[in-house]
Amino acid sequence: MALLPLRDAIERHVRDGQSVALEGFTHLIPFAAGHEIIRQGRRDLHLVRMTPDLIYDQMIGMGCASRLTFSWGGNPGVGSLHRLRDAVEKHWPAPLAIVERTHAEMAVAYQAGAGGLPFGLMQRHVQTDLAALPEAVVKPIECPFTGETLSAVPAIKPDVTILHAQQVDAQGNVLIRGIVGAAKEAAMAARCLVVTVEERVERLRTESNALILPSWLVASVSVVPGGAYPSYAQGYYPRDNGFYLAWDEIARDRETFRRWMQQHVLDVRDHAQFLRALGVAA
Amino acid sequence: MNAAARTAARAWTADEMMTVTAARHLRDGAVCFVGIGLPSAACNLARLTHAPNLVLIYESGTVGTRPSVLPLSIGDGELAETADCVVPLPEIFAHYLQAGRVDVGFLGAAQIDRFGNLNSTVIGSYARPSVRLPGSGGAPEIATHAREVLVVMKQSPRSFVPQLDFRTSCGYLDGGGARRASGCPGSGPRAVITDFGVLRPRADTDELELAAVYPGVAVDAARAATGWPLRVAPEVEVLAAPDPRDLACLRDLHARTQAAHAAPVRIALPAKL
């Protein structure tokens, strides 16, 4: 594990054309890392994430992605992701190929990837038109023991998984608390794991069966307080719902969106400056 | 009487009536897979009134939550802090939902058809949609594996359609026992709760019919708000107005929620970064 400034971590580990999963199920969403990818102008990424949320809306609208694998693409509790919709409906700023799965399929796919399997298994009872799409990836498979038909869900193995977590200790072990989503599975499925954390502590005060990513699994850790803002980091800050509501207006119009991103992401040095400019941090 | 006049003449809103009606469908001790918005309000209202042992599972992995205020999203800290346990997502879908441990699943959608099939994916064609909707999330598996499903949707000819643009989640498929024949483990939508009343499937055809209306709602109005010729049960029940105690409890819950989320978010940065 290398302790790196976020700028260096992204420069070193995220390349054009890679598949990149910024996970965190509505909690601990790695906004700071996403913004740094935008600042560094990465292109042609295959973005993977169960719930794209505002961070992928921003990355897609800024032209970072050519492909998206996801299972629910809305603004949680608010409505649409207008930049994602514009990319799918009107191909702006560029066409976006989508691979759509269900939440359960994404979870199984990460799990299979984490275990080094080509696919994961699910019961095959679900009747959905998703299975009939040309892009559909889930296939039927016969159980060799019972003969029943199951669903084979191809594994997801991102080139890079990026997570935001609460703490890293002096040895580089990373602790995630609260709602963990598929963070562990996405971490273990990736070729390279990049982490941002709220703070560095001497020792993690927790039980041994807590969600800890051992230091030797982690390519780099960057200390970025507020790195999940405007989503939340349990024990540190809540979700800024005002921001999620405001985003609906900002993202609705292409020019308003571009101006906002220029001012708040491209023209700022780092996440601390972003938080100060918004008046969230002193 | 138009909608505004109707609201003025009674002591509750359509949203409140829908929430109370959904809550009444939940028996004490049931295990519920909850979504954000009205279902979340309904489940917590039921938990705070007639069903104190209701087990609430939010798909973010929080099991047995007892939030004091309603969550803004399924990832809310309040859900994790008040839960019996928080489990990883693969477990929520495999160990709890797929394994058959969920009694009631709540769903909504942009479109529903007469057999309770749901669309939350696209309006228009999939390749060139006129509206790209958020997509499936957990809905297809909830629709399949929950022992029963409650659908909550406002009724209009645009949302209650003769033909779905896309079938994201299954209700009774093509009706007439098709769902059961397909081997689907859950029994399907038990009720569709709208802003006019409640639709239920007919036992023989699985087709949704108007089974109940709210006080002051005309059967014809409910039919006019449906995009297919809505069948009407031989006897349409007129549901009781919300109990004042339930209404007070629900309003209190919403007020607490608003107050809790009003405070601006502040993040303390270390002096030296």
How confident is the model over B137-194, as pLDDT tens digits?
A: 999 999 999 999 999 999 999 999 999 999 999 999 999 999 999 999 999 999 999 9
pLDDT value at A208 more than 90: no
How confident is the model over A95-116, as pLDDT tens digits?
A: 999 999 999 999 999 999 999 9
pLDDT value at B3 more than 80: no
Closest approach of A17 to chain B, Cα-based (Å)? 24
Angle A30-B107-A230 (CA atoms, 0-180°, nearest 5)?
20
Write down all domains in chain B, each with its CATH number in brackets.
Answer: 3-260 (3.40.1080.10)
Rounded Cα gap, residues B149 and B192, in angstroms: 9
How confident is the model over B245-258, as pLDDT tens digits?
A: 999 999 999 999 99
Is residue B45 within 8 A of residue B249, CB to CB? The reply is yes
How confident is the model over A215-243, as pLDDT tens digits?
A: 999 999 999 999 999 999 999 999 999 99
Rounded Cα gap, residues A180 and A24, in angstroms: 7
Helices (H), A97-240: 103-114, 183-189
Q: Which is nearest to B79 in space by CA: B91, B88, B67?
A: B67
Q: Which residue of chain B is at minimal alpha-carbon distance from A6?
A: B273
Instruction: Find where tokens 């020019």 sit.
Output: A255
Q: Which residues of B are catalytic?
A: 59
Rounded Cα gap, residues B190 and A254, in angstroms: 43
Query: For residue B271, what pLDDT is reported?
Result: 77
Element (H, E) at A212: strand A211-213
Is residue A197 within 8 A of residue A169, CB to CB? The reply is no
Query: For residue A221, what pLDDT is reported?
Result: 98
Q: What is the mean pLDDT of residues B213-234?
A: 97
Rounded Cα gap, residues A76 and A4, in angstroms: 32
Rounded Cα gap, residues B174 and A57, in angstroms: 37
How confident is the model over A165-199, as pLDDT tens digits?
A: 999 999 999 999 999 999 999 999 999 999 999 99
Rounded to 10 deg, the angle between the B14-24 and B38-48 helix axes is 60
Query: What is the phi/psi pair of residue A275, to 5°?
Result: -65, -40
Closest approach of A89 to chain B, Cα-based (Å)? 6
- Averaged pLDDT of chain B: 94
Query: What is the phi/psi pair of residue A184, to 5°?
Result: -65, -45
The fraction of chain A above a pLDDT of 90, given in percent, is 93
pLDDT value at B5 more than 80: no
- Looking at residue B242, the DSSP 8-state letter turns out to be P
Is residue B272 within 8 A of residue B89, CB to CB? The reply is no
> Which residues of chain B does A122 touch, with a Cβ-Cβ cutoff of 8 Å?
94, 98
Q: What is the mean pLDDT of residues B47-54?
A: 98
Residues 137-176 of A with CB under 8 A from B: none
Q: Which residue of chain A is at minimal alpha-carbon distance from B92?
A: A104
Strands B231-238 and A97-100: unpaired
Of A158 and B264, which is predicted with more confidence? Answer: A158
What are the tokens at A34? 């996403």
Write down all domains in chain A, each with its CATH number in brackets.
Answer: 2-101+157-277 (3.40.1080.10), 119-154 (no CATH)
Reported pTM: 0.95
Query: For residue B272, what pLDDT is reported?
Result: 65
The CA distances from residue B91 to A35, A72, A216, B201, in Å, are: 31, 18, 26, 32
Rounded Cα gap, residues B225 and B155, in angstroms: 6
Query: DSSP for B191-208?
Result: EEE-SSEEEEE-TTT--E
In which band, very low, low, confident or very high, does the pLDDT at B6 lie, cut at 50, 70 and 90? low
Q: Do A103 and B89 touch (CB under 8 A)?
A: yes
Which of B37-41, B42-46, B50-54, B97-101 bottoms out in mean pLDDT, i.e. has the lowest?
B37-41
Q: How many CB pairs under 8 A join A and B?
A: 209
Residues 202-231 of A with CB under 8 A from B: 223, 225-226, 229-231
Rounded Cα gap, residues A262 and B271, in angstroms: 27
Edge-first strand listing for the sheet containing B55-58:
B85-86, B62-63, B55-58, B31-34, B104-107, B148-152, B189-193, B197-201, B208-213, B231-238
The fraction of chain B above a pLDDT of 90, given in percent, is 88
Query: For residue B7, what pLDDT is reported?
Result: 52
CA dihedral A155, A159, A161, A162 (to 10 degrees): -160
Rounded Cα gap, residues B175 and B117, in angstroms: 10
> Which residues of chain B does A103 touch, with a Cβ-Cβ cutoff of 8 Å?
59, 89, 93, 136-138, 141
Q: What is the mean pLDDT of residues B205-224?
A: 97
What are the tokens at B29? 């001790």
Q: Which residue of chain A is at minimal alpha-carbon distance from B98?
A: A123
The CA distances from residue B67 to B43, B81, B92, in Å, are: 11, 8, 19
Considering all CA atoms of chain A, what is the largest pairwise distance in Å, rounded to the nearest integer? Answer: 63
Name the 3-class secondary structure at B22. Answer: helix
Q: Do A129 and B166 touch (CB under 8 A)?
A: yes
How confident is the model over A117-135, as pLDDT tens digits?
A: 999 999 987 789 999 898 8
Query: For residue B1, what pLDDT is reported?
Result: 45
In which band, very low, low, confident or very high, does the pLDDT at B37 lie, cut at 50, 70 and 90? confident
